[in-house]
Every structure is written in C-alpha cells, then in structure tokens.
Chains A and B, each alone.
Chain A
C-alpha cells in the first residue's frame, strides 16, 4: 500500500485527523491543566510531592471503579450502583473483620460485590431490564442495606495489616493505593486489548446483533462485565475502609458520576464498542487533579462543585466524537 493511497482513502481524515485529536484530548488536557496549576498554585504547595501523592491516594478508588466501568461502557451497558456498592462493601468488610479477622473481611467484601453483580447481571440479561434501571435501583438497595446493617454508624476497623494493605500503607514513599491502581490498570488494559474476552466485550458493545450472529454469547458477556464492575466497586469500598480505618455507608457516595466521567473523559464511548483503560486512568487522575487544584485555590465547597461540573462537561464535550 502506497502512502498516497492511504491519504486518499476516505476514512483517513476521520481516523488520523480530528478523531485522533479528540481521542488524545485527555492527555493534552491533563498536561495543560497540570501546567496551569503548577504555575498558579506552586506557592500553595501544589508541586509538593506529598500533595501529588495525595492526589493519587484520593483518585485510586475512582480509578479502580473506572477501570471496570470501561468494560461496562464498552459492552454497551452502564453501572450506576458502584458508589453505593462501595459503601456497602466497606461496611460488610469492616463487620466481618471484627468477627473473623482480615481474611474473613476480605472474603465478605468481595462476596458482597459478587452478590450485587449477580443480581444486576441476572436482572439485566435474563429479565431484560435495562442496566440503567437495574443499577439505579441497586444504588438505593445497597445504600439501604448498608445503613440498616450498620445502624447508620461507622464500623471501626482495628486491624493494622488490613489498613496497611487496603489503603493506608506505603512502600517507601509509594502509597499502596498507587500500586493497586497500577496493577489493576495494567491488568485491565491487557484484558481489554489482548484477550478474547476483551474483544468480545468490544464486539458486544459495537454491534450486539452482529456479535450474536457471529456466535458471541452477548448475554454472558454483559453478565460478566456487570459482575466485574460490582467486584471493583466492592474493592474500592474496601480501600476506602482501609484508608479511613472504618466502614461507613457514606463512603463512595456519588462516586458513580466521577467514575463514569473518568471513563468518558478518557475516550471510552458511552454507547459501547470503544474503550481504553489507560485513558480511563488518566481521566480519573485528571478529576483528582481538578479537585485538588480547586481546593488549593481556596474555593468554597459550593464553588468547587460548580467549577468541577463545568470543567467535566467541557472536557467531555471536547472528547466525545460527534456523529
């Protein structure tokens, strides 16, 4: 294939021009915002390594959930229950640690994720309720259960090993949370891009009928991504619990918005068929960056909410491909 032929092909502009520019927008945006903050907020300690690591610590849970959300969105579904499930899992893990120690706690947290995922998955794929509704309802159920079993009180975790491993610890200056984020990020990227499962997830979201006609069990794929998402949410809840040394139903509240925004900012399509885990992680870091910068600027919480919403809408508008 000659170069001239490539340039003349109709898809060229779409593929390597504008679309590509939009897809890489997140990286450009990240750098630009970082530079702006570095220049304007350096006197307030923005570039202080401790502050930068703090951004990572605050972003890790969002990133963990967003990695799984990338799969959910890529398959053409959505999971709105992640924030509430994180809260529920923080409570179940904390209660189980109190009863039977660290491993029992980990098992209880993950079991919570699996149970919610199976519930979401069955309702969505067997009964055919759109995942938007299934998981919206689950959001309320999970929060209600968490409030009920904890009596709306924080459940303390008195287990240094658990707290170190899930959120509190660091190796040298590297926070354990950063390791969680990187390990899961590499794993997620590999699974999405390099395994048959990842290909089938993308095919399911890209054209469900065509995928089904090609022998892909699209229901099973959707079932599995919803379980993955709930398990990631449960893990995020356990990380919150470890970091704060307690399980509370409020942990993770409202995170679903940041999680979906992180994935979409990163370039994952809201309508399925395209996803990128690396983009998602950068998207999550960008949201953390914005939060941090706005706090350092000394904005009030109300002002932060408005500014954050505006920046996210602007960024998503610039990232999304127009049809």
Chain B
C-alpha cells in the first residue's frame, strides 16, 4: 500500500467509485461516486427513485454492484456481503429497529456477545456494568437495566446506535432517523451525533427534511435518476439550491399526460374538523365532483391516516364527514363502501390483493352481491365483470383465472383499481397508487385518475412523487404533523414566466415550488401541538 493511500484511509471512511447497479432492465445506479470522510455528517439526498436506498444497500452489502469499487476505512471490499460490510465497520440503523423489546438495554447491546461467568452462564451484572460504562463514555442517558419495551422512540434509537458503536462501527447509516421522534428527541439525537463525529465516526444521514439536514450535516451528496449530481459543503447548498438539484431535469414520461379541462361540480366529500386517534388533527377539506385533490407531505405527516379514516379503517374520533351533503357515520370499510367511497390502499400486497387467488376472484371481491342472484354467484356475471375490467384497464394476464401473483406490480395495481371500478364508487381515495410500479404503468394510472375525474368522480390522491401529484391534481394539500399546512391550487404552482405549453419545464418549476412549500410547513411545526 503506497503512502498516498494510507493518508486516504485515514481521511476517507467510505470511497465508492463508479457504482453501477441494474435490476432487470432498469438501471438503478449509473456509475455513482460517493465519498464520506471520517468525522463528518454527510447527507444523502434525492427524490424517490434517485438511487439513495440502492447505493446504501450496496454499501452495506445487501446488493452486489455490477461495476465499481468500494473501500471502507481503507479496506477494499472485494467480495461484497452484509458480513464483509459489517466487519469493515458499516452499521445501518433501521427505522424498524432491530432491538428485542422483551430484553433489557444491556442484554440487547451485548446480544450474541453476552458476558459469561466462570461456569459459562450468562452474567447479566457484568453486562450491565459494561453497558453503563459504555453509555457513560458516550454521555447517553439510558438505563441499561430498563426493558427496551419501556423506552421511548428516541431512547431506543440511541440504544441502537450505542449497540452499533460498541461493535466497532466506523460508518453509521441513518435512514430517516427523525420520523418517529419528538422535537426534543431529535435534539438529543443531534447532540449525540455531534459527539460521535468528534470521535471520528462517519455518519451518513438520509432525510427528506432539509431543515434538519441544514442543521446537522457538514456536506451533502445529491443523486438524481441513479446519477451523482453534486457533492458540496452545506454552506454552498441553501435549501432552494438543494431542491433545484433534487428535482433537476427529469424525463419522467409524465408531462405527456394531457390535462383536459374538467368542470368542477358540486361538493361530494366534505370533511369538517376530522380527527383520527393519533392523526389526522382537525382536517377540514372539501372535494368536488370532477376534482382531484392531492395530499403532499413527508412520511408520518398524516396523509395515509387521513385516507384510512375516510375509508373507515381507522376511527373518526372528532368532526364530521359528509357525502353529497349528508353527514354519514363510517365505522368500517363496509360503511365506507356503502357511502360509495373506495380506498386503493398503500400496501398493495397485503391490503389490496389476495395474491394466490385468480384475477377474476380479486376483481369481483368487492362486488360479490352485484354478480350474484340471491346469494348464488353467477359465474357468467363474474367472467363478464372480470373481462370488462381486464380489457378496460388493459391488465396484462394470461387469463382471468390466473393467480394475481403471476402478474407484474403495475398489473396487480390495476387489479386493485379494477376491483373498485367494478363497484362504481363516487369517491376514490388513492394511497400511493404508483408505488413500486414501472414508469409506463405509472403514466397509465395517472391518466386513469384524470379519466375518473372527467367521469365526475371526486378523488383524493396521496403520492410521495410530487411530479405525479402535479400531473394528476387540481389542488394540492400540504400536510404536516397530521394537520393541513397549506392548500395550493394547481395553477398557482405554474411559472408565469415559462411558456404554458412547455409541460416539462412547467412541471419542474411547479415541483420546486411544491417542495419548497412542504419544507416551509416543516419549519412551522413543532412545540405547541406536538403529541
């Protein structure tokens, strides 16, 4: 090893060069360089599908890159695997934490490395002592004797990090660490991260919250469409510049979805001060016939909870829901369906489809009474309904009798939508309808949403892809902390200085504005009404 490399090893905790990763025909990473120094907090930014999670999975050995080199703390990783990454010092702190709730903090920290007595039995007292020393040294206030189940989210996360540090982690990866934390917990986390930084730990921090990044990160790397866009100190990256780089020039294939003018009709779905058990809080919103209202916001902002309250899956504890002017009580999905409300849920695999059952069975699941005479199912009616939806949505399946599990993600989602089209509801609530499906199917689904509006339906749509919301929606509601933080008519997000028919640049400009509104909303949240 030459002298220059040895210096590198001291400074660079992570050096990834020319990383390429393909999944089938999709290029997730197209030659990405990513370097993190020891003793810095390095933010990793990018929109959905930019390649953030892919590069992190390459770093911690879950994905083997198709090309490129990885060096961790001066060690070249020649044979990537989760074990190799861990041995080199990479630790990933998961949102779904890896602690066992029924064990104590000390037992968790030393899990599989338990202290033993002379007899070979587990020695909890020594473990507690060692844990206390560790927590004291790192100045973290967590009782090693406490059960993990009794800890708050913040303390659990600190424990998780201490556990990683005790295993000699030199590179910590934190993916959206603040989502479940209160404001004061975030403060404590940041304080701890600064201490770890001083000890020479490299910290990779992934978050959609740019206010947080501005406070904690030293440098940021921005990815877009699987490419490296920029790496720069935070001092050179004000929030609007970050947004510009994240949004960038994308060819998402969405700008070709024509936005025909649809006459907005009478109010169909009215929410007045609607609150759920935890979220949402006091939401007042009216959706009209022919209108698509988008819900924007970050993870945990209460968008999905609102959708579930409307669809009767979570209880509405305060406020009133009116459909076509009539107040209604929704206690179950069944009630919602009776009120002609349909939910295309977030988790397709568990909430949307029965994978082992046929396409026809899935498509008629919500309309069994309609395809039956009395309580006897009319096979021909089932076949006709299924064939109609398969043709109407161009669902690609070998036959209506094939199991839904044999279909692609996009076609499975079409089955979920088709199930509800068959029921012909007036109000559609779509929760991340394009998650995990290919670009072609995405535009098809967005087009379908516009067609539903044209047919006089009222639609509430949630998406983390702002370009989709901007393409589909007439109005966009920004949510934060379970509340409505702002409502934006779609046309107010257009840029009057750009030609109106330059769809691609208009979309890009609007996305930047909307992203800005979402980040603004975060700044105003906090102390007065938190939990």
Contacts and interface: CB of A to CB of B under 8 A. Distances in A.
A273 B357 contact: yes
Given A10-B406, A198-B377, A273-B357, 20 more contacts: A9-B398, A9-B402, A11-B398, A11-B402, A11-B405, A196-B368, A196-B372, A202-B357, A203-B354, A203-B365, A206-B357, A209-B350, A209-B351, A210-B350, A210-B365, A212-B313, A213-B345, A214-B333, A215-B334, A216-B365
Interface string B367-396: 011001001110100000000000000000
A164 to B, nearest CB: 33
Given A11-B406, A210-B351, A213-B351, A199 B368 contact: yes
B328 to A, nearest CB: 15
Interface of A: 1, 5-6, 9-12, 14-15, 194-200, 202-203, 206-207, 209-217, 273-274
B354 A11 contact: no
Among all A-B residue pairs, the 10 with the closest Cβ atoms: A11-B406, A9-B398, A207-B354, A206-B354, A215-B337, A214-B366, A196-B368, A214-B365, A215-B334, A195-B375
A262 B355 CA distance: 26
B376 A6 contact: no
Contacts of B437: none
B377 A199 contact: yes
A213 to B, nearest CB: 5
16 contacts: A11-B403, A11-B406, A14-B406, A194-B379, A195-B377, A196-B377, A198-B377, A199-B364, A203-B354, A203-B361, A203-B365, A207-B355, A207-B357, A210-B350, A213-B313, A213-B352
Contacts of A216: 334, 365
Nearest to B334: A215
Contacts of A215: 333-334, 336-337, 366
Contacts of A213: 311, 313, 333, 343, 345, 351-352
Nearest to A5: B398
Among A12, A196, A211, A274, residue most surrounded by chain B Cβ atoms (within 10 Å):
A196
A274 B355 CA distance: 12
Contact of A210 (B332, B352, B405): B352
B210 interface: no
Contact of A207 (B313, B350, B398): B350
B399 interface: yes
Given A203-B361, A215-B334, A196 B353 contact: no
A274 B356 contact: yes
B363 to A, nearest CB: 11
B279 interface: no
B419 interface: yes
Contacts of A1: 398-399
Given A197-B375, A203-B361, A211 B399 contact: no
A202 B356 CA distance: 11
Contacts of B333: 212-215
Interface string B307-343: 0000101000000000000000000111011000001
A50 B81 CA distance: 67
Interface residues of B, number: 35
Interface string B409-430: 0000000000100000000000
Given A15-B403, A215-B333, A215-B334, A6 B352 contact: no
Nearest to B355: A207
B203 to A, nearest CB: 37
Contacts of B353: 207, 210
Contacts of A12: 398
B246 to A, nearest CB: 33
Nearest to B399: A1
A202 to B, nearest CB: 7
Contact of B354 (A5, A6, A273): A273
Interface string B483-514: 00000000000000000000000000000000
Contacts of B368: 196, 199-200
Contacts of A214: 333, 365-366, 419
B343 A210 contact: no
Given A6-B398, A196-B369, A199-B361, A206 B356 contact: yes
Contacts of A209: 350-351
A198 B361 CA distance: 12
Given A11-B402, A11-B405, A195-B377, A203 B357 contact: yes
Nearest to A321: B356
A232 to B, nearest CB: 19
Contacts of B334: 215-217
A300 to B, nearest CB: 43
Nearest to B308: A213
A206 B353 CA distance: 9
Contacts of B379: 194
Contacts of B350: 207, 209-210
A197 B375 CA distance: 7
A203 B357 CA distance: 8
Nearest to B419: A214
Contacts of A202: 357, 361
Contact of A15 (B345, B361, B402): B402
A4 B334 CA distance: 42
Contacts of B405: 11
A211 B375 contact: no
B375 A196 contact: yes
A211 B365 contact: yes
A9 B334 CA distance: 36
Interface in B517-531: none
A210 B377 contact: no
A194 B357 CA distance: 15
A41 B271 CA distance: 76
